[in-house]
Amino acid sequence: MAQSLLEKLEIVKIRFTEVQEQITDPAVIADMKRFVKLNKEYRDLEKLSNKYDEYKALLEGLEEAREILADETDRDLREMAKMEIDENEGKVEPMEEEIKLLLIPSDPQDSKNAVVEIRGGAGGDEASIFAGDLYRMYAKYCESKGWKVEVTNSNEGTSGGFKEIVFNVTGDGVYGILKYESGVHRVQRVPQTETQGRVHTSAASVAVLPEADEFDIELRNEDIRRDEYCSSGPGGQSVNTTYSAIRLTHIPSGIVVTCQDQKSKLKNLDKAMAELRTRLYNLEYQKYLDEISAKRKTMVSTGDRSAKIRTYNYPQGRVTDHRINLTLYNLNAIIDGDIQEIIDKLIVEENASRLQESEL
């Protein structure tokens, strides 16, 4: 096991050194698309390279300690060697499992920022209110992670919340964490509009997309129709008086995006273009998700965004994630943004599936 892992890690180390040299080459720096790609590879390989150094040092230290224990007659040295073996032997297997996981190619999109879209589903006004609750849950979670949230488009419900809200999340490895939230979220509670105290079931869908980089998609101006119109909703004096809202239609695909949250037409245009790139990019990315969704149950949500993934039951204070049969009785904390425990358990489950796949 140790020798096999070392051989694989030595290949990684060689490639890491090559990439390290290439990203300082002026010719590479001048080719921005290649430079961005190599920088991404460098960051990924750096983790494995550091782990290789740590693993190799651990094995060499243990080997040296065993030699001392076998050959040395000095009592104190033998005692020190025994202590080192006792202290470090238990570290080998967990580190090997960590390395095996790192060696499995991860989703190349995990390091990207994300575009999140929440839509109220079945349930009318209550579904819109629930969509608003989900938005606040994610906004608070993102705040706790130090991520930046920017709303690009929203359509408020008649009784509160949102019929639809789209927002960008910027930070370190955002998509790799938020991707587990894609799917249908269901709520069971007494709606504000219910007069007889009956529990209703409503739903909202969440779609989390990896944000396309500028170099991922090439947009041609002749393929885009641009419409400008007055913003609606919050925005002060400029609302309904200034043509600052932007609607872009990608003619070949029929994809339409809108952005109206900024008073500046140029800012709305920039955000709309970024979202259009993301949606086009995700047409291809969805094929990849479809391939893996059947293999990993934690990825069903991103492979099939119509899948029911979670239920929030207010009368019982219960949240159930149906993908891994996880039930927690801290609904108030979860709806207030404390969703890390759920995401951690989903990550563990997916990692276990990835390891199993790699050993087949």
Per-residue pLDDT of the chain (360 residues; tens, 9 = 90+): 577 778 888 888 889 899 999 999 888 888 887 887 788 788 878 888 898 899 889 999 899 989 888 877 778 888 888 888 988 889 988 888 888 877 876 777 888 899 899 999 877 889 999 999 999 999 999 999 999 999 988 889 988 999 999 999 999 889 999 999 998 999 999 887 666 778 889 999 998 988 877 656 777 888 888 888 776 654 444 444 566 788 899 888 888 988 887 677 888 888 888 888 888 877 777 766 666 555 444 444 444 456 789 999 999 999 999 989 999 999 999 999 999 999 999 988 887 777 766 654
Number of Cβ atoms within 10 Å of the Cβ of 272:
23
pTM recorded for the entire structure: 0.68
Last residue of a domain, one of 103, 123, 155: 103
- Assigned token pair, 157: 């419900």
- Assigned token pair, 90: 């238990």
Same domain, 62 and 136: no
Residues 9, 99: contact at Cβ < 8 Å? yes
Same domain, 95 and 121: no
d(Cα 281, Cα 257) in Å, to the nearest integer? 14
Same domain, 209 and 311: yes
CATH number at residue 228: 3.30.160.20
Question: How many structural domains are present in the chain?
Answer: 3
Same domain, 211 and 308: yes
Domain that holds residue 261: 221-285
Same domain, 276 and 160: no
CATH number at residue 90: 1.20.58
Same domain, 226 and 210: no
Residue 333 in domain:
yes
Residue 165 in domain:
yes
Same domain, 308 and 208: yes
Residue 294 in domain:
no
158 secondary structure, DSSP code? B
